[in-house]
Amino acid sequence: MHQTGYTRASTLGPIAKVVAAAGGSIERVFRRADLPLALLESPDTLLPLRDHFRLLMVTSRELHDDVFAARLGRQTSMAGLGVYGRWVTQAPTLLEAIQRAGASLPHMLQNATQLVVRRYGGEIHWSYELSDPARDGRQQNEMLAVWYMIAVIRHFAGTTWLPGRIVLGGLPNRLRCPIAELMCTDTAIGNTTSAIVFDRWLLTAVNPNLEQSDGLSASELGRVFDLPDPEDLPGRLSVLIELELLDRRPTLSRIGDRSGLARRTLQRRLREGGLSYSDLLRNALQRRAVRLLCQTDRSISDIASMLGYDDPAHFSRAFERWSGVAPTRWRRLRESQVPPGTKCVATTIMSRTE
């Protein structure tokens, strides 16, 4: 069954830097992709894979560069993937890192996706396989994904390591030479999936930074296990609402269009689960309000405006209805109770409608 996939904005890597260096306009790219530019400052925000694909495709066209994503990939690092990157690169061996990457990817970073390891004699084929049906921009996405996989192995094998061979699924033959030149390795064209090929012995490579690892707490890992199940309509709609909130107050019609559901169908299916669009919007506003209040350099007026309130007083009254205290008092209480540097988690403050 085809799945609708989601990914975190962090997977875009240093896209703004790469676009600027090539003389393009990142503002125009995001506008043409119909995505909020604020995604660049919100790496944990989820977005549909089809939107991620489209952004890469639009960027490629903006720069007139058919292998843009491969150039972007060369500048990516696992550190940019937050907790997921730390979890994978803290493994004791490359074999364990690959197992962690595959097991946690669909839960922590990108779903409708599999990382599959196959052995052929002395070679390992590590492939990136998608079940999301979106096509536009798919090849750009796979070029980028392959570089993240290379980054995992480089953590264990050294920063100059490259696979013996790369397979890119569905890539036009005319791009084979440019990709091979850019990646400095033999590139083959596959029918369906993309993969990197390397010697089996490399799986035993030991993490050179193992003693420097600071470990990850259960709470850190738990905070990012929030990608929605393909059958979870409220979860899928909540992703779209939070994405829209980076730029505007989303309307029911807008979310319906983005989800591919007619307005009445969306309302009916939510109603069958005892929910309404207003419930989802209120919960998304609550979560975003808490995250913004944790950023103590933002004023209440700024936060109200970012959440789509014309008057800060309207936001304050709404927040007090949600939490029982005014936002200024909530902020003071949190600062007096939470150790410095603690990450703010909205669901620990306000209950989410089930």
104-154: per-residue pLDDT in tens? 998 889 999 999 999 999 999 999 999 988 889 999 999 999 999 999 999
Co-location of 162 and 245 in the same domain: no
pLDDT mean over 168-181 = 83
Quickly count: other Cβ atoms within 10 Å of residue 191's Cβ.
Answer: 7
Helix (H) or strand (E) holding 26: helix 26-32
Co-location of 276 and 311 in the same domain: yes
45-49, 222-226, 235-239, 305-309 — which is least confidently predicted?
222-226
Co-location of 246 and 344 in the same domain: yes
Residue with the larger pLDDT of the pair 319 and 176? 319
Identify the domain boundary among 196, 221, 246: 221
Distance from chain centroid for Cα 75? 17
Co-location of 195 and 309 in the same domain: no
Co-location of 211 and 237 in the same domain: no
> Tokens in use for 15?
């896209």
Is the pLDDT at 354 greater than 50, yes or no?
no
Largest pairwise CA distance in the chain: 68
Helices 94-108 and 82-89 cross at an angle (nearest 10°) of 160
Co-location of 146 and 236 in the same domain: no
Is the pLDDT at 349 greater than 50, yes or no?
no
Query: Domain span at residue 283?
Result: 232-348
Residue 354, in any domain of the structure: no
Residue 227, in any domain of the structure: no
Phi-psi label, residue 170: left if phi above 0, alpha if psi -120 to 50, beta otherwise: left
Q: What is the pLDDT of residue 10?
A: 95
Is the pLDDT at 178 greater than 90, yes or no?
no
Co-location of 93 and 149 in the same domain: yes
For 206-260, the pLDDT digits (tens) are: 998 876 656 665 555 555 556 887 788 999 999 999 999 999 899 999 999 999 9
Co-location of 167 and 129 in the same domain: yes
Q: What is the CATH number of the domain that holds 59?
A: 3.90.1520
Helices 252-259 and 233-245 cross at an angle (nearest 10°) of 120
Co-location of 70 and 191 in the same domain: yes
Identify the domain boundary among 159, 187, 221: 221
Query: pTM for this one?
Result: 0.86
Residue 257, in any domain of the structure: yes
Residue 314, in any domain of the structure: yes
Structural domains in the chain (count) = 2
Co-location of 46 and 188 in the same domain: yes
What residues are paired with 206 via a beta bridge? Answer: 93
Residue 353, in any domain of the structure: no
What residues are paired with 116 via a beta bridge? Answer: 127
Q: In 43-94, where do the E strands start and end?
A: 46-48
Co-location of 113 and 55 in the same domain: yes
Is the pLDDT at 28 greater than 90, yes or no?
yes
Q: What is the pLDDT of residue 169?
A: 83
Co-location of 249 and 320 in the same domain: yes
Residue 226, in any domain of the structure: no
Residue 194, in any domain of the structure: yes
